[in-house]
Amino acid sequence: MSTSTSEHDFVNWQNLPNEALIKIYSYLDDSMRCQMSLTCKQWNQAFNTPVLWRRRYFLFTGFRAMESSVTACKYLRSLGKHLRHVEIECGHPVLHTARPIAQALDRFVTQINRLRCIRILSFKMEHLGISRAWQFFQSSKSRLVSALCKFLKSQRHLRRLELSGAHMISEDGSALINALGISQARKTLEVLHIENFYEQRHTAFSDEAYLNTMRKLTALRIVFLNYIYINDTVLNILAKRAGSSLEFLRIVADSREPYEHNISANAWLDFKKQCPKVKLVFHFLGKLKYSDYTRTLLKGMPLVDLNIISWESLPNNRDPDRERMPDVLKYIGDHFPNSLAHFRLSVDHAVQPALDTSLIHLIGRCCNLTEVSINCKLELSTVESICKMAGDQSRRGLACLELRVRGLTGDDMARLALVTQDTLCSLGFRRVELLSEDDALDD
């Protein structure tokens, strides 16, 4: 017998440190963890290490939703005291599954509320789609919403709430947001993620329950909203109630939603003054009019991050022929030369006049950019100009440059390879990605 074999035979697995055991457990599903825990006393003790049970994902879908809830409740009774972060997914219902899905969630929430030892810090339930997936199952939908309200009302330590894509009809949305407002979590909630929380086109700032709850959230640091959820009043509420703590505000402007209100420049200036730490992020989705951009992006707002996705394939209720993207880029460069740090642009359609000149203008004007990501049709000379600007000593803060170029000829693609090599050498350790349209499609 070889030396290595004999050494292997006499390995004492009891000497395996707990850190290694916990790491092994972290890669296993629950059934495998249970089997492993039966090996010996030491491994059973490691099985009960709290860090292994902090985060849980629960899926209630189809005919087996109730069976899943039984398993979930068993977990809550045995290891729920360690639970801190919950993510739930409810499959979209059909005629025979809506009721068991709603019952499963209700049962799960009831079990959580019974166990006072459970201290949930974050709750995530995305893409619920109430006004779409549940519109034909009113009784089950009501039970589902009631269970969520019951859960939120009972929360005392919640710090993060993610309900994006819920698409609640106004009545259900008001009930749910009101439940948050009367819970103890109103004093602890730091992250509120409610993009597309209401059904499409619902102007949340006209909803009194929404306004009342926003007035009660005093610990907010990070907020994700739709543009139609915010106006001068909501900005003022955020500034007064969370001004000292607010660090990040992301707003999505969707081409499918109405742009019938304006936020005044004075409201943004007051907001910036009362929220000195805040970073403002705008995400424009779909083809919008030039006037939509100019009356939304106002000089003086603390705009740090801007993402524009102008795709013809996205649904649109605007007038896309009045987009004037070259003018939009020039406007951005002229109004946010010092504040803009992250800029991303993706355009999947032909633009006349071309974007080259206006894009060079924007990047040249915005001197504090740290990240630039462009996906559109450009001349190769424009790519070279942008790379040259990125290589200037004054641009050492630009850590990430990503250009995905559409419409290049075969010769241009060969030249692009040379430009890429030169740029990588000149920018050193900074992240650079220059791709043709064909390369982008391969990704």
Residue 431 binned pLDDT confidence (cut-offs 50, 70, 90): low
Residue 440 binned pLDDT confidence (cut-offs 50, 70, 90): very low
Question: For 194-223, how does the pLDDT look when each residue is reduced to its tens digit (9 = 90+)?
Answer: 999 999 889 999 999 999 999 999 999 999
Give the H/E segment covering residue 69: helix 65-79
Decide yes or no: CATH 3.40.190.170 for domain 53-372.
no
Give me the residue spans of the domains in the chain: 19-52, 53-372
Residue written as tokens 């304006």?
Answer: 262
**pLDDT attached to residue 6:** 52
Cα dihedral 290→293→299→301 (10° resolution): 180
Question: 117 φ, ψ to 5°?
Answer: -80, -15
Structure-block tokens of residue 27: 């890669």
**pLDDT attached to residue 31:** 82
What are residue 325's DSSP bridge partners?
none
Which of 56, 106, 105, 101 is CA-nearest to residue 80? 56
Q: How far apart are the first and last CA of the chain?
A: 51
User: Which region among 103-107, 129-133, 164-168, 183-187 has the lowest average model confidence (pLDDT)?
Assistant: 129-133
Does residue 7 carry a pLDDT above 70? Answer: no
Strands 303-310 and 279-285: parallel
Which of 374, 384, 388 is CA-nearest to residue 416? 384
CA distance 201 to 199: 7
CA distance 335 to 293: 12
CA distance 10 to 302: 65
Does residue 9 carry a pLDDT above 70? Answer: no
Q: Are 375 and 347 in contact (CB under 8 A)?
A: yes
Structure-block tokens of residue 72: 């979930």
199-210 per-residue burial string, b: 16 or more CB within 10 A, e: under 16: bbebbbbebebb
Q: What is the mean pLDDT of residues 162-172?
A: 95
Alpha helix ranges (H) inside 283-355: 290-296, 325-335
Residue 19 binned pLDDT confidence (cut-offs 50, 70, 90): confident
User: Which region among 55-59, 386-390, 413-417, 424-428 has the lowest average model confidence (pLDDT)?
Assistant: 424-428
- % of residues, the chain, pLDDT over 70: 91
Does residue 439 carry a pLDDT above 60? Answer: no
Quick check: pTM over 0.85? yes
Residue 387 binned pLDDT confidence (cut-offs 50, 70, 90): confident
